[in-house]
Amino acid sequence: MFSCSNTRYATTFFPVLAVMAVFIAGVTLAQTASAGHDTRVSLLDYQQHALDVGGDNEDWQPAFQAALEVARDTGKPLHVPAGTYLIRQAINVVHAGKPGLFLNPQKIQIVGDGPNHSNIIQKVPTENAINWTGPTYKESTSGGAMRDISVSGGDVTLNIKWHNHFHMDNCYIASAQTYGVHAEGWSSRFANSTIRWCRQAGLYGRSHFNNIKIEGMYFSRNGRGIHLIGGNGVFISNSGLESNASAAIVIQHTSKPVITSCYFEGNGHDRGPDILDIGIGFPSTIHLDGVANSVVIENNIFRGGQGYNSASQVAIAGCEGARIRGNLFANSLVAVKLLAESQISQATVGPIKGLIVTGNTIETRDKVLALRGAPGTFLAESEPGLIERSLAHSSVFEEPLEITRKNTYEDE
């Protein structure tokens, strides 16, 4: 053990040690702070590029472009601090990958301080808000991420047309003239985010939209919540879809989509052409068309109400090998409806084949029964003979469990 008998030595040595310790601690903290600062590119470090800040033509797009070039070159995330940033041109996320390499990785991230704090607003409705795409399918980019931020306005709010392996988390997307998100890449993830008030569709996924996960999302007051055209293996789970005008989910020419553990309410109600697009799928909650293959719809809650007089919950114009099982249809006028015509080609489609409808429950409150005068219909057809025709092509329709529940809450 260290000991010192020399009092004068001890009184001078230990204060020196203390001073040195404070100095070393200060240097360490400074280095840590510096390292933390250097791990991200801050938009505000490039605010001198923004135009007419505080004026009638404020435009932060040039500042975003300057910051993104540094983010590309350094591989650091672009941090968008809390604040509102108006733009009048599309933010073009530069292609930082190397076309020809596997996945064309680019690693750019755009990170805010939360969707209620960091806001990008496109003021020109004919411009996209963010373009984050490769030039072509074969030169698509990969690996981008956006989280903790709000982006609104523009023609397409987030355009990731040729972008694979994209991750979006804890974001708010709103007020697109066409699509909130336009995606055509594969292996992307959309999680814990809200998409609202997009005229045609909240999320529009097509072509190579394969191996996609959509979970913990909320789609509200869009023309269509989710519109899929093409692709394989889209997994939609644990999400809420409410008051989307044409339909909550439209599936066309898509194979093996799975819709599970979601909550649907009040979809398929016309809000007027000046607000939202009333197109394919109207009026329904989930619309299968032209031809949807091996669709799985299970363990969801479909909720109607005493005033929901038009929408069928699952409308089927064309499908092969679909499974509708274990769902709860609450206060619904029509649970499953077979359609004679495609809404895509407006022509008669082939028979619905291999549709298996089993293990579902239809529940109606006694107050709703009294107001309607009759319960809803579980299985319906737009013209006579469709159900019989489907049965002849290996379909199975099992009678649901029917429950009448006493009204408990007046405001339910």
Question: Does 291 sit behind a cis peptide bond, omega within 30 degrees of 0 on the bond before it?
Answer: yes
Q: Is 69 exposed, middle or buried (0-12, 13-18, 19+ CB in 10 A)?
A: middle
| 115-157 pLDDT tens trace | 999 999 999 999 999 999 988 888 888 889 999 999 999 999 9
The pTM for the full model equals: 0.88
- Percent with pLDDT over 70 in the chain: 83
Homologous superfamily of domain range 107-405? Single-stranded right-handed beta-helix, Pectin lyase-like (2.160.20.10)
Does residue 3 carry a pLDDT above 70?
Answer: no
Q: Which residue has the higher pLDDT, 159 or 376?
A: 159
Q: What's residue 10's pLDDT?
A: 45
Report pLDDT for 47. 98
The DSSP symbol for 15 reads H
pLDDT over 90 for what percent of the chain? 66
* Domain residue limits, the chain: 107-405
- At residue 291 the predicted structure's pLDDT band, cuts being 50, 70 and 90, is confident
Q: Which long-range contacts (CB under 8 A, 24 or more apart) does 195-198 make?
A: 195/219, 195/220, 195/222, 195/225, 196/172, 196/220, 196/221, 196/222, 197/221, 197/222, 197/276, 198/157, 198/173, 198/174, 198/222, 198/223
To the nearest whole number, what is the mean pLDDT of the chain? 87
pLDDT at 29: 41
